[in-house]
Amino acid sequence: MSFTIKTLALALGTLLATGTALAQGNWPSKPLTMVVGFAPGGATDAVARIIAKHLGDELKQNVVVDNKAGAGGNIATDFVARAEADGHTLLLGSVGSLTVAPHMVAKLPYKPLEDFAPVTMAVVFSNVLVVKPELPVKNLADYVKLAKAQPGKLTYASPGIGGAGHLAGEFLKQRADIDLTHVAYRGGGPAMLALLGGEVDSFMSTPPTAGPHMKTGKVRAIATTGLKRDPLMPDVPTVAEQGYPGFDTLNWYAYVVPAKTPKAVVDRLNQVLVKILNDPAVAKELELKGLSPSPSTPAELATYMKREYDNWAVVVKKAGIKPE
């Protein structure tokens, strides 16, 4: 009897190992869908389309970018949480939907730290506060002075409630003790169009979205939100150096898949994405848009997400941010 049980256990172990190998060996068996939580034209979309092309080339499969805009990326995030866990649907998620939303939405339909398997960090970067040219401000001191003179009148746009731009704006309000009116849009593209059209006074933007319009003079940059100046915007001072030491809010995009995706597939996906992000040509393409490739292991991403989850809980509570 013991021999039979032992033999059966060995056979079962072999079968499971073979199944895992097959899971990786058969993947991908169809086109991949890379889901983005914002409209075309913003930074998330730009990153997704750069990576999607190279990912398709590496895997010899089509990779389709699917923009599911709305709710600060939560709609797209929920979609992927419910997708089949076979490695063919992945999310290029952001700080908002992956670490902030649980502190804002009482009945969020997904649990970011439980419903996803982290794959790799993609990019990290600062936000940049830009204003319309006719606004009478040249620097952050002018901006704060104008806001204090007209409490609640000065508006700032963001790509969505609870996203990095919104959080950076709220953190600035707290540090500078000013009253700004937040206006959320369905992505960086629509928010920039609103600024260009004069619907809002300012926009807590991303380098890929703001950069082209800064070059043409259609918007004016007055501050970036990282501790160090952005190498692609060396003339734009940080919030920290303009009177608010320690001010540091980074934006980041990371790849995750449904939690039950086979580990072999997650590992293979990590391997391919890390290779792409480490490619000098891809790095240059991203850096030209103001984005820093930051590939990681799944474990490193999991640790980072948990830390961000805990840190932003404090800011959200103090700001009283609620979904609209």
The pLDDT value given to residue 30: 97
Segment 79-108 shows an average pLDDT of 95
Burial class, 51, CB count within 10 angstroms (exposed 0-12 / middle 13-18 / buried 19+): buried
The pLDDT value given to residue 58: 97
Q: Is the model more confident about 293 or about 163?
A: 293
The pLDDT value given to residue 155: 98
For residue 311, name the pLDDT band (cuts at 50, 70, 90).
confident
DSSP notation for 110-137: --TTTSEEEEEEEEEEE-EEEE-TTSS-
Averaged pLDDT score across all residues of the chain: 90
The pLDDT value given to residue 102: 93
Segment 135-163 shows an average pLDDT of 95
pLDDT at 37 > cutoff 60? yes
The pLDDT value given to residue 307: 92
The pLDDT value given to residue 68: 96
Would 4 be classed as within a structural domain? no
Would 85 be classed as within a structural domain? yes
Domain total for the chain? 2
Distance of alpha carbon 179 from alpha carbon 147, whole angstroms: 7
Contact (CB, 8 A) for 119 and 80: no
Would 278 be classed as within a structural domain? yes
Distance of alpha carbon 187 from alpha carbon 44, whole angstroms: 9
The pLDDT value given to residue 305: 97
The pLDDT value given to residue 170: 92
Segment 21-46 shows an average pLDDT of 84
Closest CA to 258 of 86, 95, 101, 120: 86
pLDDT at 5 > cutoff 70? no
Domain boundary among 183, 209, 242: 242
The pLDDT value given to residue 160: 85
Segment 67-73 shows an average pLDDT of 91
Domain boundary among 242, 274, 292: 242
Domain boundary among 189, 209, 242: 242
Closest CA to 300 of 122, 160, 37, 147: 122
For residue 116, name the pLDDT band (cuts at 50, 70, 90).
very high
The pLDDT value given to residue 164: 86
Q: Worst-scoring range by mean pLDDT, 27-36, 206-215, 233-242, 253-262?
A: 206-215
Q: Are residues 224 and 148 in the same domain?
A: yes
Look at residue 65 and give its three-state secondary structure.
strand
Q: Are residues 232 and 134 in the same domain?
A: yes
For residue 324, name the pLDDT band (cuts at 50, 70, 90).
low
Would 188 be classed as within a structural domain? yes
Distance of alpha carbon 112 from alpha carbon 97, whole angstroms: 8
Q: Report the percentage of the chain scoring pLDDT > 90.
A: 73
Segment 120-135 shows an average pLDDT of 96
pLDDT at 277 > cutoff 90? yes
pLDDT at 286 > cutoff 50? yes
For residue 139, name the pLDDT band (cuts at 50, 70, 90).
very high
Q: Are residues 44 and 149 in the same domain?
A: no
The pLDDT value given to residue 25: 67
Range(s) of the domain holding residue 109: 31-124+251-319
User: For residue 94, how many C-alpha atoms fall within 13 Å in the half-sphere facing its CB?
Assistant: 33
Chain CA centroid to CA 316, Å: 17
pLDDT at 114 > cutoff 70? yes
Alpha helices in the chain (DSSP H): 2-25, 43-59, 74-81, 95, 140-149, 164-176, 188-196, 207-215, 263-278, 280-287, 298-319
Return phi, psi of residue 119, to 5°.
-110, -60
Q: Are residues 149 and 224 in the same domain?
A: yes
